[in-house]
Amino acid sequence: MFFQGFLYCQLNAEIHYYMTEKQTLNRIKSALADKEKTNLWLAEQLGKNKSTISKWCTNDQQPTLETLFEIADILNVDVRELLVSTKK
């Protein structure tokens, strides 16, 4: 019983960590700034709501892989420039 309780608490702690820690996974905001473009401009180019673009730029949500490639094409950058490197 103690072990089950321990595992339950451990799992809840890990879930809480991942839900509260916002990871920066994309660099869309930086890429837009580099190209002197706005969220609204990108929303118009993609036919998306500006709040969707805002969520991507703040890393609250992530675009699909297909959309990420579309963004790279629109900004004329390599798709890898839109991702945060996993190499330190």
Q: Please state the domain extents for the chain.
A: 24-88
Quote helix, strand, coil % in the chain, to nearest 5.
65, 0, 35
What is residue 45's predicted lDDT score, i.e. its pLDDT?
Answer: 98
Instruction: Give 5-51 pLDDT, tens digit per residue.
Output: 555 556 555 555 555 567 899 999 999 999 999 999 999 999 999 99
Query: Largest Cα–Cα distance of the chain, in whole Å?
Result: 59
What is residue 14's predicted lDDT score, i.e. its pLDDT?
Answer: 54
DSSP string, 24-54: --B-HHHHHHHTT--HHHHHHHHT--HHHHH
What is residue 9's predicted lDDT score, i.e. its pLDDT?
Answer: 57
Class of the CATH-defined domain 24-88 = mainly alpha
